[in-house]
């Protein structure tokens, strides 16, 4: 029987291929829903492995089918890059000006190809189907505000799936260390835009105007008071203003002030409360004789790691590399559209430590990069957890 140690050995033997795949993708990054070249690379590689392949899923996504019947375990990797001009001086630097894999999706895609290679050659792979989901557009949404995960779900990629797993490389965690949380692992995200409207006027005669900049001062206090005075202090919530624009001259009171920001939470009830409270505090504008317009753009829901799936990940890590590789979990207020998939089937996302060097290389920055030697461990974990889930689901259905 293939052991976790065997899987890790085989994954480490793929190290050179994983790096080649990752660097190929890194050098040719593609923005959300434009991942044509990356999708073709994935299709070509899966086809070489003798796998049934579906392309054009969720616009530019790819699904690889390994095995058949039930249970069905899905593994997801995202493929899109970001509109960032890379500053790293490396041989595999982006060749597309203004576009860069600054969040590790190139590594995610390479790792899932490695999982496909490992499982397709595994002589005693458990019964059932492994569904490999190469997803477009995690970083952005389309004209209907739908991300790649939503589009793939709409195209049936998760139909019949019993469990779904994924990983995300983390450039700030020690290489080859693993972090996984039970329960909430990332946040609900909503963005908003607000226009505060007055009448404007001459700066020398403020009494003849309805000054939206004065109204802004009251609104800002009220917005920041939502977290402090309206939300249960035991509940996680964030509301932040990211942009304020007003006026064009020193002696002119503007007629309008624009502001925008973001709201984060874990629980859906808190998410709705943040929305309601924001709309309510903006009524202050009318008390001072002005008016407002609010546009709310719903973002990704919170990611909930199923505790049983997360437990299997921790067991796998202990068996592969020992308990010392596990880091204490820390829920994050960032957003991740894998959450749509975990609302369709029990699932979990693990964080794969991949800090490259002593330099701070945050995600979504021009100097982001990872330690590529961490990728084989990611391959082994995903492959091993998929096998454990197949066995577990088969035993449950037979019971």
Confidence (pLDDT) at 399: 64
Confidence (pLDDT) at 395: 84
Specify whether 308 is located in the same domain as 258: no
Longest CA–CA separation in the chain, Å: 85
How far is Cα 84 from Cα 89, in angstroms, rounded to an integer?
Answer: 15
Q: Are 258 and 194 in contact (CB under 8 A)?
A: yes
> Domain range spanning residue 137?
4-185+302-398
Kindly state the tokens that stand for 391: 């066995």
Residue 32 has phi, psi (to 5 degrees) of -55, 130
Confidence (pLDDT) at 363: 97
Specify whether 47 is located in the same domain as 176: yes
Given the DSSP bridges, would you call strands 256-265 and 188-197 parallel, antiparallel or unpaired? antiparallel
> What global pTM score does this model have?
0.94
Specify whether 318 is located in the same domain as 170: yes
Confidence (pLDDT) at 99: 98
Q: What does the buried/exposed string (b/e) look like for 175-189 if buried means 16 or more CB atoms within 10 Å of the residue's CB?
A: bbbbbbbbebbbbbb
How far is Cα 200 from Cα 34, in angstroms, rounded to an integer?
Answer: 44
- Identify the helix (H) or strand (E) that includes residue 164: strand 163-170
Confidence (pLDDT) at 186: 95
Q: Which of 30, 35, 277, 372 is catalytic?
A: 372
Boundary (domain end) residue, out of 298, 319, 352 = 298
Specify whether 219 is located in the same domain as 176: no
Q: What's the sign of the alpha-carbon dihedral 242, 248, 249, 252?
A: negative
Tokens 């957003």, residue located: 335
The residues near 13 (Cβ < 8 Å, ≥ 6 apart) are none
Specify whether 292 is located in the same domain as 348: no
SS3 304: strand
How far is Cα 391 from Cα 129, in angstroms, rounded to an integer?
Answer: 11
Kindly state the tokens that stand for 189: 């995200």
Q: Which of 92, 184, 300, 304 is catalytic?
A: 300
The residues near 348 (Cβ < 8 Å, ≥ 6 apart) are 165, 166, 180, 185, 305, 306, 309, 310, 313, 342
Specify whether 233 is located in the same domain as 338: no
Specify whether 275 is located in the same domain as 356: no
Tokens 């995200």, residue located: 189
Tokens 């590689």, residue located: 45
How far is Cα 316 from Cα 180, in angstroms, rounded to an integer?
Answer: 12
Residue 374 has phi, psi (to 5 degrees) of -80, -15
Confidence (pLDDT) at 60: 98
How far is Cα 170 from Cα 214, in angstroms, rounded to an integer?
Answer: 43
395 catalytic? Reply is no
How far is Cα 233 from Cα 231, in angstroms, rounded to an integer?
Answer: 6
Specify whether 311 is located in the same domain as 205: no
300 catalytic? Reply is yes
Specify whether 261 is located in the same domain as 339: no
Confidence (pLDDT) at 397: 74
CATH classification of the domain holding 67:
3.40.630.10
DSSP code, position 229 = I
Closest among 276, 184, 191 to 226, alpha carbons compared: 276
Whole-number Cα distances in Å, 64 to 10, 56, 67, 147: 20, 12, 10, 20
Closest among 216, 215, 213, 241 to 227, alpha carbons compared: 241
Specify whether 393 is located in the same domain as 265: no
Q: How many domains does the chain have?
A: 2
Specify whether 90 is located in the same domain as 66: yes
Boundary (domain end) residue, out of 298, 313, 345 = 298
Q: What's the sign of the alpha-carbon dihedral 374, 376, 378, 384?
A: negative
Confidence (pLDDT) at 247: 95
pLDDT digits (tens, 9 = 90+) for 185-210: 999 999 999 999 999 999 999 999 99
CATH classification of the domain holding 262:
3.30.70.360
- Identify the helix (H) or strand (E) that includes residue 17: helix 15-27
**pLDDT tens track of the chain, all 399 residues?**
899 999 999 999 999 999 999 999 999 999 999 999 999 999 999 999 999 999 999 999 999 999 999 999 999 999 999 999 999 999 999 999 999 999 999 999 999 999 999 999 999 999 999 999 999 999 999 999 999 999 999 999 999 999 999 999 999 999 999 999 999 999 999 999 999 999 999 999 999 999 999 999 999 999 999 999 999 999 999 999 999 999 999 999 999 999 999 999 999 999 999 999 999 999 999 999 999 999 999 999 999 999 999 999 999 999 999 999 999 988 899 999 999 999 999 999 999 999 999 999 999 999 999 999 999 999 999 999 999 999 999 887 776
Specify whether 113 is located in the same domain as 19: yes
Boundary (domain end) residue, out of 298, 328, 352 = 298
């Amino acid at each position: 029987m293939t052991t976790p140690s065997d899987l890790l050995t085989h994954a480490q033997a793929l190290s050179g291929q994983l790096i080649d795949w990752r660097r190929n993708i890194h050098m040719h990054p593609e923005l959300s829903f434009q991942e044509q070249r990356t999708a073709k690379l994935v299709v070509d590689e899966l086809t070489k492995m003798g796998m049934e392949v579906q392309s054009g899923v969720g616009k530019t996504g790819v699904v690889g089918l390994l095995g058949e019947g039930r249970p069905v375990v899905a593994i997801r990797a995202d493929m899109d890059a970001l509109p960032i001009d890379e500053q790293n001086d490396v041989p595999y630097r982006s060749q597309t000006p203004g576009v860069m894999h600054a969040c590790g999706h190139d590594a995610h895609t390479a790792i899932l190809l490695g999982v496909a290679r490992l499982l397709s050659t595994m002589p005693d792979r458990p019964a059932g189907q492994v569904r490999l989901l190469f997803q477009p557009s995690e970083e952005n949404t389309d004209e209907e505000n739908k991300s790649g995960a939503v589009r793939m779900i709409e195209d049936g990629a998760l139909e019949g799936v019993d469990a779904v797993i994924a990983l995300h490389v983390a450039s700030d965690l020690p290489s080859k260390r693993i972090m996984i949380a039970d329960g909430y692992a990332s946040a609900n995200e909503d963005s908003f835009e607000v226009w505060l409207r007055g009448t404007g006027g001459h700066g020398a005669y403020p009494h003849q105007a309805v000054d939206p900049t004065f109204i802004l001062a009251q609104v800002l206090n009220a917005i920041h008071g939502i977290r402090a005075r309206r939300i249960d202090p035991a509940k996680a919530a964030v509301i932040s203003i990211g942009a304020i624009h007003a006026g064009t001259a020193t002696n002119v009171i503007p007629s309008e002030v624009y502001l925008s920001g973001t709201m984060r939470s874990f629980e859906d009830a808190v998410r709705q409360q943040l929305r309601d409270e924001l709309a309510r505090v903006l009524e202050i504008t009318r008390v001072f004789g002005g008016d407002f317009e609010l546009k709310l753009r719903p973002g990704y829901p919170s990611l909930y790691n199923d505790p049983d799936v997360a437990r299997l990940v921790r067991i796998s890590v202990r068996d592969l590399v020992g308990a010392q590789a596990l880091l204490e979990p820390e829920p994050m207020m960032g957003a991740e559209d894998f959450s749509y998939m975990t609302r369709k089937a029990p699932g979990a996302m693990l964080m794969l430590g991949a800090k490259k060097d002593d330099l701070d290389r945050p995600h979504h920055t021009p100097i982001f990069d990872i330690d590529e030697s961490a990728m084989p461990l990611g391959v082994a974990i995903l492959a091993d957890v998929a096998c454990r889930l197949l066995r577990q689901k088969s035993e449950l259905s037979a019971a």
